[in-house]
Amino acid sequence: MGLIARQIEALGIATLCLSSAYSITRAVRPPRASFVDFPLGHTSGRPHALDEQVAMMTEALKGFEDITQSGDIKTLPYEWLADHSWKDAVMQPAARGDAGAGSDFRLPRFDTPQYQFEADAEVADEGCPTCVFLTGSTDTPI
């Protein structure tokens, strides 16, 4: 989103990104950003917490006035939990059958492409120019 924000800014329209991924936001360097230390997917507040959401949006939008240096990130003063224990489960695969809050339920990663159906594998084009992410270079599989 930060890359798009820079292009929009180049057209003369002010932008502000709201992020809960500080390191990614820092790397992309949008013209201005507000950071909230909440789990991914909850960047604008807790579900059904309208007062908190409005307060967070109001504080985030103050970044248009407060952020004077391009690429700066304003950290918002909101916390998901005071003890930060929620971060222990973020991006950690859950044990089978564990439905704990904050668990990551992604499947294991493989070095080769995985297909839902055999027919998909049969028609896949290994030389597809839009699938370069599947190889380390144009001719070396990852």
- Residue 20 to residue 36: CA distance in whole angstroms: 5
pLDDT in tens, 117-127: 888 878 777 76
Residue 99's alpha-carbon distances to 48, 80, 94, 104, in angstroms, are: 21, 19, 7, 9
* pLDDT score, position 140: 43
Residue type, 102: G
Residue ranges of the domains in the chain?
A: 2-88, 109-142
Q: Are 127 and 140 in contact (CB under 8 A)?
A: no
Q: Give this prediction's pTM.
A: 0.61
Torsion sign (Cα): 24, 26, 28, 30: positive
- Residue 114 to residue 108: CA distance in whole angstroms: 11
pLDDT in tens, 82-139: 887 777 766 555 555 555 545 555 566 677 777 788 888 787 777 665 554 444 444 4
What mean pLDDT, rounded, does the chain reach?
79
Q: Are 43 and 19 in contact (CB under 8 A)?
A: yes
Q: Are 28 and 2 in contact (CB under 8 A)?
A: yes
